[in-house]
Structure 1
Amino acid sequence: METDLGYWIIPLAILGGAIRVSTPFLFVSLGEALTERSGRINLGLEGTLVFGAMSGYALAYLTGSPWLGVLAAAICGALFGLVHGVICSLPRVNDIAVGIAMMILGMGLAFYFGKPFVQPVAPDLPAISFGWWSDVPQVRAALEVNVLFLIGAALAVLLWWMLRTTRVGLTLRVVGDSTDAARAMGLRPALIRTCATAVGGAFAGVGGAYLSLYYPGSWNEGISSGQGLMAVALVIFARWNPLACFGAALLFGGAGALGPVLQSVGVSEGYYLFFAAPYVLTLGVLIATSSPTRAMTGAPGELSITK
């Protein structure tokens, strides 16, 4: 395991891997936090993530512009969220059941329309090198940060500020906590929840575009590995706080980077067990937050999982 940096390469590589792996978690969790703050849970984000990855990759390949691919993924994600929101606005419709159906629909459509784009190579999203000061290749690689990660970090701060201090944030929190109170204030809960679900879907679509256009940087049917569903557990762990979602996304990203990091530094036996770290962490988060005394602390009152 000898390298230019000795054993310091391991934490450095985990940091770089955490940044790369965490970006889809970050966007999906921010979108889900926004949706759940309005009083609705969207389990269909796994399908939205996969369809966003396919649509973003396809348009980036056809146009030669990765940013047009990101825009296409966001639009497709918003459309999925809009459909989810409209259906859930109907009487006697369960948002969890609708979410599962939308997840299956999104993945099915992505696999069907994405077959012609498995082999073609689309342009990658740009990255900024924060390791320019070092001559060590490992440092340069670890500190190469994609632009979408920086955008996601800025969005986490913006959403936190919006929810705490703006009229839009107050409206969203009132609708999420009590439909009756929202109606008494003259608000339209169904419309607000539908808009929040659409914006949350757009965030998930962007997370999918990151997967196909940067890391791992290709389109295939197994690209998501359940990250859309894990992000729902991440939001509960973060207590519906966008800033906490950012930290939790880095934690999940670091767990996801363990396996590749150990493989890259020469660990040849047992490293593959660490590929399961994100799933073990998800299970641990769900167990830790399932206590009757604190499981739903801070949860919006209108969420299906609180009733």
Structure 2
Amino acid sequence: MTPDMWISLAAGIGGGALRVGVPFLFVSLGECLTEKSGRINLGLEGVLVLAAMASFGGAYLTGNAWLGVLAGAVAGGLLAALHGLLCSLPRVNDVATGIALMLLGTGLAFYLGKPLMQPQAPQIPAIELGNWSDSPAVRAALQINALLPVGLLIAVALWWAFGRTRYGLLVRLTGDSSHAARALGYSVGGIRLIATSVGGMIAGLGGASLTLFYPGSWNEGISSGQGLIAVALVIFARWSPLRCIGAAALFGGAGAIGPALQSVGVSWGYHLFNTVPYVLTLLILVLTCKPGAVAVGSPGELSNTR
């Protein structure tokens, strides 16, 4: 390949890490908050897909992309709140409920979103980072989602809240020891419900970025399992909001390898490179989830069988 092709390839992968990684960032931050409270939400795939549909529908009906983003956050928060309410009932398992909510969320999205497959909705504006280059390919690759700075701010805010605020410490206390939280007079169920709902709203922003920026349309295969991959992302990030940024960029870059190669004319193995994020997920789970061992940074309640 020529030097210009190498520059275009690097820009494509780098830009893809920022562009494709945005949904991963929001969903992993939402799951990080949920798991910090001692609850796991495997229904985030359903949350992501339902929020993506709601965002596209909201933007299409109102003609305003930011109202669509708000609709996605609300839809994600409501479905996550349902998960939190069900999990607060006696003898209800988090994992089984999450799988059921995943099926419910995707089913609702596919049913309600059928009329939205053809129309076009207003899109979230892009931040231009490639104006320094004369190459159209580089400029196109470095068009960044305007929601990315929001995700970075949320990551910093969660990191600060967990370490410096009373509410963040309460979430961590509930996730590490529900008995200690109850002994101090706090409602474990209430704290987990709020954390799960807010986590769903954050994940909903990831759904909005899918349909209102990249790829910028609504279809039934919009998510490609990114909600489930987010669980592995949180484990890889060791339940740290700041590390979720790097993990999301890593997975985003992995997902951008195939399109970046195709953009410079390399078509061999294109579909093979599209499997890199899933292979990376399996590798992370194999390396970090060892039988009989608790992952470093894991909230104590997650190791308990509920």
Q: Give 1:2 shift.
A: 4.3
Distance in 1 (alpha carbons) for counterparts of 2:231 and 2:179: 26
Question: Cα deviation per residue 1:124-168 (whole Å; 9 max; x = unaligned)?
Answer: 101111222332223322222111111101111111111111111
- Structure 1 residues 74-223: aligned runs within 5 Å: 74-223=73-222
Distance in 1 of aligned mates of 2:84 and 2:5: 52
Q: Which residue of 2 aligns with 1:252?
A: 251
Residue 106 of structure 1 aligns to which amino acid in structure 2? G
Partner of 1:48: 47
Question: Do the aligned residues in 1 keep the contact of 2:30 with 2:199 (CA within 8 Å)?
Answer: yes
CA RMSD in angstroms, aligned pairs only: 1.4
AA aligned opposite 1:288: L
In the TM superposition, what is the alpha-carbon distance from 1:185 to its structure 2 partner?
1.3
- Distance in 1 between the 2:192 and 2:239 partners? 16
| One-letter amino acid matched to 1:12 | A
SS in 2 for 1:145: strand
Aligned-pair distance for 1:73?
0.5
Q: Does 1:24 align with 2:41?
A: no
Tell me what 1:33 maps to: 32
Corresponding residue number in structure 1 for 2:67: 68
- 1:268 to 1:213, Cα distance in 2 relative to 1, 3 A: same
Aligned partner of 1:13 in structure 2 is 12
Could you tell me how far 1:13 is from its partner in structure 2? 1.1
- Displacement, 1:246? 0.7
Question: Residue 233 of structure 1 aligns to which amino acid in structure 2?
Answer: A
Question: For residues 136 and 302 of structure 1, what CA distance do their matches in structure 2 show?
Answer: 52
Compute the displacement of 1:8 (Å). 2.2
Residue 278 in 1 paired to residue 277 in 2? yes
- Relative distance call for 1:79 and 1:284 in structure 2 (3 A) is same
Name the aligned partner's letter for residue 188 of structure 2: P
**Post-superposition shift, 1:295?**
4.5
AA matched with 1:54: M
The one-letter amino acid paired with 1:98 is T
Report how far residue 294 of structure 1 moved: 5.5
Tell me the number of residue pairs that the alignment of Structure 1 and Structure 2 aligns.
Answer: 306
Partners of 1:246 and 1:17 in 2: CA distance: 14
Match for residue 299 of structure 2?
A: 300
Contact 1:58 1:69 in 2 (8 A): yes
Return 5+ residue gaps in structure 1 as ranges: none
Q: Give the letter for the 2:30 counterpart.
A: G
Aligned amino acid, residue 158 of structure 1: A
Work out the CA distance in 1 between the residues paired with 2:170 and 2:19.
Answer: 34
What is the identity, as a one-letter code, of the residue corresponding to 1:219? W
TM-score by length of 1: 0.96
Q: Assess if the C-alpha contact under 8 Å between 1:296 and 1:306 holds in 2.
A: no
**Distance apart, 1:12 and its partner CA:** 1.6
* 2:232 match: 233
1:40-85 alpha-carbon deviations (Å, 9 max, x no partner): 0000000010000001101101111010000001001110111110
Alpha-carbon distance, 1:293 to partner: 7.1
